[in-house]
A and B are shown apart, each in its own frame.
Chain A
């Protein structure tokens, strides 16, 4: 459990909140690059960290991310005309450039310089790895561009999707490091999903249903190791990475693409679940990409034209009780992502953590909260830079590996847990 003040501290990310400040020190995935496909394309409304923003791309291809509303009388600039290096408000014609600077107020004489006094709040927005990354913090603290391994892969080796999750970011993220739910909630998928099945690791998974866990602090966050018995007294380890505050990476299975997530607050009651998949040394196969497009693995099918999953709270997640009874799915909901999302949304928009009864296997979650709270305190009291911003913290990998019984996996699997240029993930 958490006390109410602690829960508030970790779940509130709007402007001025401590957790919001921590998020604002990072480059955050804001949009898929495909949402702004060409110069002068239609702008996109986006909310991040409880701020309503407008993303657009000007005549020269420069990305812009600014206050959604016109400084004049507050019209949404989503209706704006994207023309000649600027976005023009359709109401009275005020025009803004990609930095949010007002460059034209038609009603005022140009010589008056009135427009120079008007500027919309705007943030840097940069493309990398098919994602548009936003930095919403103080300019003097802007870190170098993110170096998550997937984002540095050529386009044909990576796949990225995002979906709306109608819950606070923290309960979504905690699902990403909750290793003990996999043998229950997702048991059906280990053997049926085209992006999971057929790994030796799955046999260890099924052969030993009661994994033992080890939680170890890493420079950027946590390693969460789930240990099962392998041959000859060795251990089969699945090591999940959490990098503060919102990056999680799932251990690989066989030669399947490796995947992970970012959990980015939209506001305190909604978040974006970003889901990436990649291979280091080969392009994703057509078969794999088709499966991802079809919503397999950690991806979902959508309500057409939106990022809202097709199975959502308005249709009771298409729950199929007969399939649940047959054991095809454990919860009656299909697909790994929606199995997680449906349960996390069912908790309510912000789960009341004063009512929880955590157990020993929840130490990954307990440690993540402990580290977040500790780093928040250091950031607020002493201005300490939180973990996860240092590029070295981003060059991490999850791993699936068989190790001798007495070694700390953090050391024994040292190479497997960091990026090795040109080499695939260590996997079983």
Chain B
């Protein structure tokens, strides 16, 4: 007799895989860290997404000193100020988009908020082909401590492909 594994892994049986959703949409928050990535993110935001929301931290001026507030640097794409911790708190995944050679200092604040709230972070670096390695190194050292997954992509379209692949 045919074994159970043989029968179950046939093309004929594949048709009977239950056709019901096996997940709920996840909330993905995409944050541009600099102006060039902000342009990419703005374009992306025009598309239709399940649960993706887009932000920019390009106004980030550097880490605030003790007692100073964080407020003001994270905003949605319409320029409305957003509260980082609240945004992270309601996310399943935070994607930081950075351009090689640009200031990615906001990553540490975003990353800290993510690790506080136990939210996974992914970082995408664009434009690495246009800069020398030392410049890329700087961006890497700002992102590496905070990203569980880091992608250095040559094509800007990767951001969209990745979000689609993640059902964002």
Residues of A within 8 A of B (CB): 1-2, 166, 212-217, 269, 313-317, 342, 345-350, 352, 355, 357-363, 366-367, 369-370, 373-374, 405-408, 410-411
Contact = CB atoms under 8 A, between A and B. Distances in A.
B17 to A, nearest CB: 7
B152 A216 contact: yes
A348 B11 contact: yes
B144 interface: yes
Interface of B: 2-6, 8-11, 13-14, 17, 22-23, 93, 120-122, 128, 133, 136-138, 140-141, 144, 147-155, 157-158, 161-162, 164-167
B149 to A, nearest CB: 4
A342 B3 CA distance: 13
B137 A407 contact: yes
A350 B151 CA distance: 28
B151 A408 contact: no
Contacts, number: 124
Nearest to A180: B149
Contacts of A216: 151-152
Contacts of A360: 93, 120-122, 148-149, 166
B161 to A, nearest CB: 5
Contact of A408 (B140, B147, B149): B140
A153 B120 CA distance: 44
Contact of A358 (B10, B17, B133, B166): B166
Nearest to B132: A411
Given A313-B5, A352-B14, A357-B22, A217 B154 contact: yes
A343 to B, nearest CB: 10
B8 A346 contact: yes
B5 A316 contact: yes
Contacts of A358: 165-167
Contact of A212 (B6, B22, B149, B153): B149
29 contacts: A1-B164, A2-B165, A212-B148, A212-B150, A213-B148, A215-B149, A215-B150, A269-B11, A317-B5, A346-B9, A348-B11, A348-B13, A352-B17, A355-B22, A357-B167, A359-B93, A360-B120, A360-B148, A361-B149, A362-B165, A363-B122, A366-B165, A366-B166, A370-B158, A374-B155, A406-B137, A406-B140, A406-B144, A407-B137
